[in-house]
Structure 1
Amino acid sequence: MQQQPIRVVVADDHPVILFGAEHALLKFPGIQVVARARQSTELVKALQTTPCDVLVTDLAMPGGQYGDGLPLIGYLRRNYPQIPIVVLTMLENAALLKRLGELGVIAVVHKSDDLSHIGLAVQHVHRNLEYMSPQVKIALDSLRMNSGGKSEEVILSKRELEVVRLFVSGMTIKEISEKLNRSIKTISTQKNTAMRKLGLDRDSELFQYAQSNGLLNLSAHVPDESVPGGGAT
């Protein structure tokens, strides 16, 4: 008896990545792409109307009714717990990978890796097995080495989180210093400390992290003195 193909829904807001992911999956005889989506509204509609076995989705996919990033992943895990998720991302920081794992995501593929890893990830999660692409493994190995093999929670102080939130909202360091009545040097130090804690090197990564971790939706004034994992929900 011929085995039923693994039915996959693919979601990505970039047409080139969407096409590339689907083309890569078609090279696996046992995988069938049954629907495509460009944002969360299309994705949820596809899941509601099309039976599927695995979801492959970009992490940063703005513009839809159900948001993107970690809030979207959380929504999908709550409403479609039976569908395993393969996450596609350009991010590789420790806090994000840790949070994805906490949400029940056991497969992450970095977009800089060969797209064939998407198919391998689909095969693994379909059997309830973990899969991390090479670039993601490097990030995880680096995390383990830096923490001496111990799992450490990333904690941003109230002031660090406040600075990050204002910075990713579009304010300059000078504007933030004026708004918060702190020196430019202090604001710059708090921003750099937050980035170091999160394992980020560039401002572009900070913007991506903020979007994926829900920081863009946080109030500038955070009630708790410290916030685990950058305050993601």
Structure 2
Amino acid sequence: MSTLRIVLVDDHPIVRSGFRQLLELEPGWTVIAEVGSAQELAAWMLQSTCDVLVLDLSLPDGDGLVMLRHLLAQRPDLAIVVLTMHDGALYVQDAITAGARGYVTKSSAPDELVDAIRAVGRGETYLGTDVRDYDGAVAADSEGALPELTSREAQVFLLLARGHSVARVAATIGINAKTAYAHRTNIYAKLRLGSDHELRLLAMRRGLIGRA
């Protein structure tokens, strides 16, 4: 039996330790590294590789979705399972669109992560039971919540609402900064907003992001 090599990326050591113990109960599975930040992950990936990477979206020094896109640009065949506290439909959509093969929330039963890794190891996609209903309906949900905006403007809106700078928005969705600023200007005008703070408050009221 070949060994399945797993890397855990989460900024809480106690979380990593608990999941490591769980995963290594599975025959042939081994956690070859635990990583606590985006910087550590980038350095580790320069020298090593794995079969499955379990990635938290909330890293202390970077956005997990940005890191996910960066990793898959370098290694398109890498199987990434998102393990996160975020259960909103838009987070699920962003992660799967970016190329994640699995999405499990931290409020799920621990065995769900095992099921997710087993599925992606077979080349399948896995959504946790508490986010499975979002599959195939997420885009419609986001458009319904932001009817005033085009699809691209809605995408920019959501990234700004999650705290991204305009430069980070541009890098995340592959547009230049000038275009990103133009989208933000249009969003402000259409929604009668005066700042990114007002934008985030609106996103909370419409249920697009959680309350801080």
TM-score of the aligned structures, taking structure 2 as reference length: 0.68
Q: Are residue 104 (structure 1) and residue 99 (structure 2) matched?
A: yes
Residue 170 of structure 1 corresponds to: none
| Cα distance in 2 for residues equivalent to 1:102 and 1:158 | 15
Alignment-derived partner of residue 49 in structure 1: 47
1:96-175 mapped onto 2 (5 Å cutoff)? 96-140=91-135, 143=138, 153=151, 155-156=153-154
Report the equivalent of 1:39: 37
Aligned to 2:180: none
Question: 1:49: how far off?
Answer: 2.6
Tell me the number of residue pairs that the alignment of Structure 1 and Structure 2 aligns.
Answer: 178
User: Which residue number in structure 1 is paired with residue 78 of structure 2?
Assistant: 83
1:4 matches 2:13: no
Deviations 1:133-175 (A, max 9, x none): 122225558858968xxxx958549999878859xxxxxxxxx
Partner of 2:209: 200
- CA distance 1:11–1:165, change in 2 (3 Å): closer
Pick closer, same or farther for the CA change 1:112–1:141 going to 2, 3 Å. farther
Greater shift in the superposed pair: 88-97 or 189-198 = 189-198
**Partner Cα separation in structure 2 for residue 19 and residue 111 of structure 1:** 14
Tell whether the 8 Å contact from 2:161 to 2:199 is kept in structure 1 after alignment. yes
| RMSD across aligned positions (CA) | 3.6
What is the SS of the residue equivalent to 1:200?
A: coil
Bigger Rg, which one: 1
Structure 2 contact 160–200 (Cα < 8 Å) conserved: no
What is the distance in 2 between the residues matched to 1:165 and 1:122? 30
Question: Could you tell me how far 1:68 is from its partner in structure 2?
Answer: 2.8
Please identify, of 102-111 and 90-99, the stretch whose mean Cα deviation from structure 2 is larger: 90-99
Identify the match of residue 28 of structure 1 among 26, 29, 43. 26
Counting only pairs closer than 5 Å after superposition, residues 172-191 of structure 1 correspond to structure 2 as 191=200
What's the counterpart of residue 224 of structure 1?
none
Q: Which runs of 5+ in 1 are unaligned?
A: 167-179, 181-185, 205-233
Give the C-alpha shift of residue 10 in structure 1: 0.9
SS in structure 2 of the partner of residue 21 of structure 1: helix
Secondary structure (helix, strand or coil) at the match of 2:130 reads helix
CA distance in 2, matches of 1:121, 1:5: 17
Residues 22 and 156 (structure 1 numbering): CA distance in 2 closer, same or farther, change over 3 Å?
Answer: same
CA contact (8 A) 1:12 1:39 kept: yes
User: Cα 1:78–1:93, aligned 2, differ >3 Å: closer, same or farther?
Assistant: same
| 1:160–1:193 Cα contact (<8 Å) kept | no
Amino acid at match of 2:130: Q
- So what's the TM-score if we normalise by structure 1? 0.63
Distance in 1, Cα, partners of 2:117 & 2:46: 20
Higher RCO by CA contacts (8 Å cutoff, separation 6 or greater): 1
Identity across aligned pairs (percent)? Answer: 28
